[in-house]
Amino acid sequence: MTTVAVTMTVGVTTRYWMAPVADQSTTGSGVTAPDIVQGYIYPADGATSQMSVQLDPGYDWDVRVSFRNAPPVYFDGFAPGSGGDLLELLTAQGWVPDGPVNDGPNSSVVTSVNGVSGAVVLSIPAIDQTATDIKGLGIQSAGSVGSAADAGHVHGAPGWLPGDNNLMAACDSLAAISSTFIVVKGVQYMMKVPVRAPITVSSVSFIVSTSGAGASTGSFIGLMSPSGQLLTGSADCAAQFTGANAQTVSLTTPQSLTPGTTPFFWVLILSNLATTQPTFRTAGTATSALPNLGLTAANFRAASQGSGSITALQSVTPSANSATPLIWVGTN
């Protein structure tokens, strides 16, 4: 169903009621029941009146504008369907006698539709339901199909997506994991995760290559905003840091994030084990240059702060970030 906004200017000397009705014909469908759209009261003397008409592509239709205590006025049109819905309103088709609302009958004429007098043609593109018309990511193009896209269309993914592994977001593809990195005790590490759609983050996953060892004096996972504000943290996660392979840590307070206000967030990693700190799997090689190529310190994908004395997660000034390798993290 396509909705078309129609603005009608009517010259009158008194107020009247207007009730637009879209009558579907039987052409091609057997639809006979009228579709009542809306009803209004309008002011006098050249006032602009607006109504919405709903059209089913592929059927003949007409719009009947009814006035209280007066005959209706018809506007004819045709919706050819696959080539786009075509709406034609003839603005001078009939005189509109107003109802006896004030001091007697008068006659008025519809003088314009959408600001144009005479015949008005509105072209409404058909909705494209052909999946192959929806292209994957590639070279920017305006397109040439000439049909409107359905609101539920989906572009083909160019590769791995977090959802392929039941994750909501991640700093990089699991396929990019190729090296390892051992963290330094008391240093707060920051892994950047883009926000592509509204999400609520309640847990963080990572991969331990070599387990840490010893009692913890403050080992945590957390989230940080682009401005460096600590958003939430976890309970001490020594069990996960001394574990092996894939590990998941729950956050104390889940965070709801939207692309408009939070284009990305940093996952924080802080380890303070007495004997050995954990070694994590990294996305790409264990260098700091590649993941941060072309970025300023305040926007690094992989960063750290602190010199080895941090025992609890803390807010930071992002412009003071130091580059590090990108430890792989995913969120749910």
pLDDT tens string 75-114: 433 333 333 333 333 332 332 333 332 322 333 334 444 5
Predicted TM-score (pTM) of this structure: 0.65
The amino acid at 223: L
pLDDT tens string 175-211: 999 999 999 999 999 999 999 999 999 999 999 999 9
Q: Answer yes or no: is pLDDT of 28 > 90.
A: no
Record: fold of 162-331: Jelly Rolls (2.60.120)
Least confident of 141-145, 159-163, 166-170, 212-216: 141-145
pLDDT, position 214: 98
pLDDT, position 225: 98
Q: Please tell me whether residue 78 adopts helix, strand or coil conformation.
A: strand
Domain boundaries, the chain: 2-127, 162-331
DSSP-assigned states of every residue in 289-327:
TTTTTT--GGG-SEEEE-SS---S-----GGG-EE---B
- CA nearest neighbour of 201 among 129, 249, 269, 141: 249
Return d(Cα 170, Cα 327) in angstroms, integer. Answer: 11
pLDDT band at 168 (very low <50, low <70, confident <90, very high): very high
Residue with the bigger pLDDT between 151 and 57: it is 151
Return d(Cα 328, Cα 272) in angstroms, integer. Answer: 19
pLDDT band at 62 (very low <50, low <70, confident <90, very high): very low
pLDDT band at 125 (very low <50, low <70, confident <90, very high): low
Q: Answer yes or no: is pLDDT of 41 > 60.
A: no
Q: Answer yes or no: is pLDDT of 174 > 50.
A: yes
- Radius of gyration, alpha carbons of the chain: 32
pLDDT tens string 201-252: 999 999 999 999 999 999 999 999 999 999 999 999 999 999 999 999 999 9
- Contact yes or no for 97/10 (Cβ under 8 A): no
